[in-house]
Structure 1
């Protein structure tokens, strides 16, 4: 196994991995349009922060990746990236994404009426860094995820970062156990994620934080 930062030559293979790596998780695909999802959760990291994008290579092929950001100010916000993707890919007129965003709007309206918290980004100077990590099925249990996370946390220590946060689904118990083992602890409430369903049920956001 090799853990390294991404190169320009990895672009196509990494994009292919992005579409399959989350298979089986509650957030496998948010609205069923991988190209627009990559425009939010992969491409900006590749273009702006390649030194914080790590890949795991097993037997010569890419099997996992971690997109990291040392400080949220280095990237457009998730809301900005999402708005651009919705406009660029005309998601409101695509049946699958349109259903997702319509449901998300109704979920948000209900939450506002009931004065319930909703999922969103964490902006806290104690944990300015964040990450997204995905490992495909064949690499789970091989140590690839541990190695990717270790490489990222080592980088944060080198940079003198005060801390890092991530957001996963509380229903993804495998992921929560993994992040706990890597030193992250739950933080804040677990609000429902507008629009998202898994097996017909609501999915909830779990924020977790880490400090060196």
Structure 2
């Protein structure tokens, strides 16, 4: 087996990116069993990036298929405003607000609700760490420095575009990912009982 190739995202990679998003969507584990609509996670956590900032999307491709990706955004605040105008409206028409109470919603319904009220990043974070990223790798390409290769490529691209800092969100149960980010120098910016926001200064 040859080493995975790291390359820019191509439009024909969309299906693979959506698949990886689902197969890593349960704190790094396969979330396929949790969702009735297999495209939902991709619509929320991958589609906006490969549609609106494809120049900051990179994939790992091995002998079988695309097996990992990293997706970045240069200006988070502007990106969130753009999605409110161009990305969420169509999804809101397709996925109505769930009637069930929050504590009684299925995983699909929780994402339907998120589509109607997407999270926004606090200004105190975007002021210092204006960019953000998502990275996901299937188990077969984890280890061996592949995650670091993706991170190094995106961080360099962000620096070249003038970014002063980058942040990311991670589930509190995803201890392996948290350790990986900390090893790269990310620091905790915000913490809740279920998740963290980590940040990295890109000026040093």
- From the superposition, tell whether residues 2 and 89 of structure 1 become closer, same or farther in structure 2 (CA, over 3 Å): same
The TM-score, its normalising length taken from structure 2, stands at 0.76
Partner of 1:185: 187
Equivalent residues of 1:86, 1:92 under 8 A apart:
no
Q: Give deviations 1:42-75, integer Å, cap 9, x for gaps.
A: 1111111111111111225211011110111442
Partner of 1:45: 49
Instruction: Work out the CA distance in 2 between the residues paired with 1:210 and 1:50.
Output: 22
Instruction: Work out the CA distance in 2 between the residues paired with 1:44 and 1:26.
Output: 22
Equivalent residues of 1:26, 1:172 under 8 A apart:
no
Displacement of 1:92: 1.9
Instruction: Work out the CA distance in 1 between the residues paired with 2:26 and 2:108.
Output: 22
- 2:201 corresponds, among 184, 202, 211, to 211
- Deviates most, 79-88 or 44-53: 79-88
- Deviates most, 87-96 or 139-148: 87-96
Instruction: Work out the CA distance in 2 between the residues paired with 1:48 and 1:141.
Output: 29
Instruction: Work out the CA distance in 1 between the residues paired with 2:161 and 2:26.
Output: 32
- Deviates most, 47-56 or 33-42: 33-42
Partner of 2:122: 122
Instruction: Work out the CA distance in 2 between the residues paired with 1:148 and 1:42.
Output: 16
- Deviates most, 63-72 or 85-94: 85-94
Instruction: Work out the CA distance in 2 between the residues paired with 1:37 and 1:77.
Output: 20
Instruction: Work out the CA distance in 1 between the residues paired with 2:112 and 2:141.
Output: 35
Partner of 1:20: 23
In the comparison of the two structures, how many residue pairs are matched?
Answer: 185
- From the superposition, tell whether residues 27 and 206 of structure 1 become closer, same or farther in structure 2 (CA, over 3 Å): farther
Q: Give deviations 1:74-127, integer Å, cap 9, x for gaps.
A: 4235994667635423362697346647999xxxxxxxxxxxxxx862332110
Q: Give deviations 1:146-168, integer Å, cap 9, x for gaps.
A: 11111111111111211001111
Instruction: Name the SS of the counterpart of 2:80 in structure 1.
Output: coil
Equivalent residues of 2:60, 2:69 under 8 A apart:
yes
**Structure 1 unaligned regions, length at least 5:** 105-118, 193-203
Instruction: Work out the CA distance in 2 between the residues paired with 1:27 and 1:205.
Output: 18
Question: Post-superposition, which runs of at least 4 consecutive aligned residues in structure 1 deviate over 6 A?
Answer: 101-104
Partner of 2:8: 5
Instruction: Name the SS of the counterpart of 1:142 in structure 2.
Output: coil
**Structure 2 unaligned regions, length at least 5:** none
Equivalent residues of 2:188, 2:198 under 8 A apart:
yes
Q: Give deviations 1:139-188, integer Å, cap 9, x for gaps.
A: 11132211111111111111121100111112211111000111211113
Instruction: Work out the CA distance in 1 between the residues paired with 2:166 and 2:68.
Output: 20
